[in-house]
Amino acid sequence: MDNSKQNTGAKILAVIKGNPIALLLVVAAVVVGCLKDNFFSWANFSNLMSNTAVRFLIALGVSGCLITKGTDLSAGRQVGFAAVVAGILCQKGDYGSKLWKWAPEMNIGLVLIIVLLIGLCWGLINGFIVTKLHVPPFIATLGTQTIVYGISLVISDAQPIGGFQKIYTSLINGRLGSTKSFHLPYLLFVALIFGFLFWFIYNKTRHGKYMYAIGGNDVAAEVSGVNTTFTLIRIYATAGLMYALAGYLLAAKSGGASASMGQGYELEAIAGCTIGGVSTTGGIGTVPGVLVGVLVFELLKIILQFLGVNPYYNYVVQGLVIVLAVALDIRKYIAKK
C-alpha cells in the first residue's frame, strides 16, 4: 500500500518536473483567481476554452510539420484566408455592404466544405513545394505565407467583412448548458474531437508512424520503404485543412473577418507546440503535449489580461515564457547524461 502511494507521489513529481511551466501557470492562475473576483467564473472559463480550442486546431495542424523537422509559417495567413472566404460567403443576402452582391445567400455547411477544399489546396501546394521542388519548409511556407496574404487582400478588397448570417455566428458561438452558470462552448467539443482524432492518427495509424519515422531519420525512413513524399504531402495537406477549419470558426467567433486575421498565429502555434514538448529536431511530440502547450499560452494571456498588464508588455512576457519553457524542456534531455 505504502509502496503504491510512493509510486503515485513519484509520478506526480515526474509530471511536475516534466512540465514546470505549466505548473507554474496553474499556480499563478490560482493566485490571480484569489485576487480577482470574476477570474473563476464560467464566462471566463468558457472564454479560455473557446480561445484555446481554435488555437489548438491550428497547433495540431502545424505539429505534423514540426515533428517531421519542417515548419509551416503560412499557418496564420491561411487561417486569415479561410476566415475571409468564409466571411464573404456567409454574409447575409440582404446585407447592405455585401461584398459579392451578385452571390446568393449560401448554406453555411456548403461554405464550410468550400473553405476546407481551399485549405486543402493550400496545404497540397505547400507539400508539393517542399517535397517535389525540394524547397526547405521554412522558405517554402514563408513564400506561400506572403502569397496567401496577398490573395486575401485582393478578394476582401482589404475591407473588414461583417453582416454574417445569424445561424453562422450563433451556431459556432453556441454552448451546451445554461448561459449564466455552467456551460460548455461547442468549440470545446470540436477541439476535443479533433484532439482525439489526431491522437489516434499519430499513435494508431501507419501514417502516424511514418510521420514519426521521417522526423526521427528521413533517410532511414525512405530506406525502410516509407513513401516519404506522399506522407509529407499528406501532413501539409492535413495542416491546410485544420487552418481552414480554424479560420471558418474564427470568423464566426469574432463576428467579422478581415485579411489581417490570424496574423502571427503560426508563431503562437509553433510556440505552443514547442512548449508542449514537440522537438524542433524532429521525431518527438504528442497531442496531449500540444494541448498543454496551447493551454499554457492562452492561460498566460488571460492571467495578464486580468492583472491589467499593459498589452504591449504581453508580448515581452509571452516571449520570455517561450524561451523559458523550451530551456526547461531541453534540460530533461541534458540531465539524462
Partner 1 sequence: MSEYVLEMNGVSKSFPGVKALDHVQLKLRAGKVHALMGENGAGKSTLMKCMFGIYKMDEGEIRMDGQPVTITDPMDALTKGIAMVHQELQPIPARTVGENIFLGRYPMKKALGFIPIVDHKKMYDDTAELLKKVRMTFDPKQKVGELSVSQMQSVEIAKAVSANCRVLILDEPTSSLTSNEVEALFRIIEDLKAEDVAIVYISHKMDEILRIADEVTIMRDGKYIGTWEASELTTDKIITQMVGREMHNLYPKRENVPGDVVFEVKDFTSINPRSFRHVNFQLRKGEILGVGGLVGAQRTELMEGLFGIRSHTTGEILYKGKPLKIDRPKDAIDQGVAMLTEDRRGSGIMAVLSVADNISISSLNQYLDYGFVINGRKVENLVQDNVKKMNIRTPSSKTLIKSLSGGNQQKVLVGRWLANNPDVLILDEPTRGIDVGAKYEIYCIIADLAKEGKSIIMISSEMSELIGMSDRIMVMCDGRVTGFVNGSEATQENIMALATQFE
Work out whether 331 is an interface residue with partner 1 (CB under 8 A). Answer: no
Work out whether 221 is an interface residue with partner 1 (CB under 8 A). Answer: yes
Quick count: other Cβ atoms within 10 Å of Cβ 18?
Answer: 15
Q: Which stretch binds partner 1 (CB under 8 A): 80-88, 121-129, 221-229, 265-273?
A: 221-229
Binder among 112, 213, 246, 287 for partner 1 (CB under 8 A) = 213
**Cell numbers found for residue 4:** 503504491
Work out whether 224 is an interface residue with partner 1 (CB under 8 A). Answer: yes
Q: How far is 111 from 144, CA to CA, in rounded Å?
A: 23
Tell me, residue by residue from 268 to 307, as one string, x for binding to partner 1 by CB under 8 A and - for no binding: -----------x-xxxx-----------------------
Count CA atoms closer than 13 A to 6's CA, side-chain side: 3
Work out whether 217 is an interface residue with partner 1 (CB under 8 A). Answer: yes
How many positions of this chain bind partner 1 (CB under 8 A)? 25
Least Å distance, CB 283 to partner 1, is: 4
Tell me, residue by residue from 185 to 204, as one string, x for binding to partner 1 by CB under 8 A and - for no binding: -------------------x
**Cell numbers found for residue 110:** 456548403
Work out whether 216 is an interface residue with partner 1 (CB under 8 A). Answer: yes
Work out whether 14 is an interface residue with partner 1 (CB under 8 A). Answer: no
Work out whether 132 is an interface residue with partner 1 (CB under 8 A). Answer: no
161 in helix, strand or coil? Answer: strand
Q: Which stretch binds partner 1 (CB under 8 A): 190-198, 218-226, 237-245, 250-258?
A: 218-226
Residue 184, CA distances (Å) to 191, 248, 255, 262, 303 in order: 12, 20, 19, 24, 20
The angle, 0 to 180 degrees and rounded to 10, between the axes of the packed helices 311-335 and 20-35 is 140
Least Å distance, CB 329 to partner 1, is: 14
Binder among 209, 263, 286, 307 for partner 1 (CB under 8 A) = 209
* Contact (CB, 8 A) for 88 and 164: no
* Contact (CB, 8 A) for 237 and 45: no
Q: Which stretch binds partner 1 (CB under 8 A): 84-92, 170-178, 216-224, 257-265?
A: 216-224
Which one, 158 or 220, has the nearer CB to partner 1? 220
Binder among 101, 206, 331, 332 for partner 1 (CB under 8 A) = 206
Work out whether 18 is an interface residue with partner 1 (CB under 8 A). Answer: no
Quick count: other Cβ atoms within 10 Å of Cβ 201?
Answer: 17
Q: How far is 289 from 165, CA to CA, in rounded Å?
A: 36
Work out whether 22 is an interface residue with partner 1 (CB under 8 A). Answer: no
Q: How far is 76 from 152, CA to CA, in rounded Å?
A: 12
Residue 51, CA distances (Å) to 58, 150, 185 in order: 11, 26, 10
**Cell numbers found for residue 150:** 496577398
* Contact (CB, 8 A) for 273 and 62: yes
Least Å distance, CB 217 to partner 1, is: 4
Binder among 1, 133, 219, 334 for partner 1 (CB under 8 A) = 219
| Interface residues toward partner 1, by CB under 8 A | 204-206, 209-210, 212-213, 215-217, 219-227, 279, 281-284, 337
